[in-house]
Structures are given as structure tokens and as C-alpha cells.
Amino acid sequence: MVQMIHTASYFNMVDHVGKVYGISSSMPKGFVPDGRLLSFIPDYKLVRDYKDSVITWQEYEKIYISTMDSVDHEDDFGVMRGSEPCTLLCWERTVGRCHRRLLGEWLGKLGWEVDIK
């Protein structure tokens, strides 16, 4: 049975289900997650390049997904296969241009059941 995976913003606590895991390089001050899933965190330079308009969102998407395809995720998959649902958290308040949406869609293609918020 595949575990239900949720994604949400740190700020939308109503969307936090089960254990919560950070998937960003930093977290809000005072926020204490159940852990961090390091293989899903985008490279800092990739985030900076997008925010500084060095690359477009489409380029960001391609680079992030390419990275997800080439990185070993077994440790993080093991955490996600736990006994209860979990939520993967990042900073963006909406999913339009957010790596958690990209990650959720990518996980869905791998067979995970994902609720993207």
C-alpha cells in the first residue's frame, strides 16, 4: 500500500497532516518539523537564479525535475513509507510556481498518492 503524501506551505497549518517534513533549505523561525527530507530540497543556486530572473520558471522546472530523476531518494522514501500520512512543507503560500507542486507531480508519476496544496 502506498502512503498518502500531502504537500503544503509552512504557513497553512490547517493543511498539515500527520508527520511534517521540511523540503526547503530553511524553515520559519521556531518551526520544529518531524524531520527534513534533504533529497527533495532544491539547490540554493537554482532558487537564487530563478528569484533573480537568471532563469525562467520553465527552466527551473526542467532543472528541478532532472535533479529529482538523478538523485538517490531511498532514505527519504523510507521516511515517507512510515505508518501514518505525512506532509512535505516549503515556504511558498501557493503552488503555482513552487517546487512542492513539481515534487508532488513527480512523486505521483512514481506511484505515490499525493495531495498537493
Q: What is the C-alpha separation between 23 and 91, in angstroms, rounded?
A: 9
Q: If we measure between CA atoms, which residue out of 82, 86, 83, 75 comes closest to residue 33?
A: 86
Residue 61 domain-assigned? yes
- Identify whether the C-beta of residue 65 lies closer than 8 Å to the C-beta of residue 49: no
Q: What is the pLDDT of residue 83?
A: 63
Q: What is the pLDDT of residue 1?
A: 43
Residue 51 domain-assigned? yes
Residue 44 domain-assigned? yes
What secondary structure letter does DSSP report for 65? H
Residue 41 domain-assigned? yes
For residue 9, the enclosing domain spans 4-111
> Each residue of 74-84: pLDDT tens digit?
999 999 987 68
Q: What is the C-alpha separation between 82 and 61, in angstroms, rounded?
A: 28
93 contacts: CB under 8 Å, gap ≥ 6: 9, 11, 12
Residue 117 domain-assigned? no
> Each residue of 3-61: pLDDT tens digit?
789 999 999 999 999 999 999 999 999 999 999 999 999 999 999 999 999 999 999 99
Our count of domains for the chain comes to 1
Residue 19 domain-assigned? yes
- Identify whether the C-beta of residue 85 lies closer than 8 Å to the C-beta of residue 17: yes
Residue 102 domain-assigned? yes
71 contacts: CB under 8 Å, gap ≥ 6: 39
Residue 116 domain-assigned? no
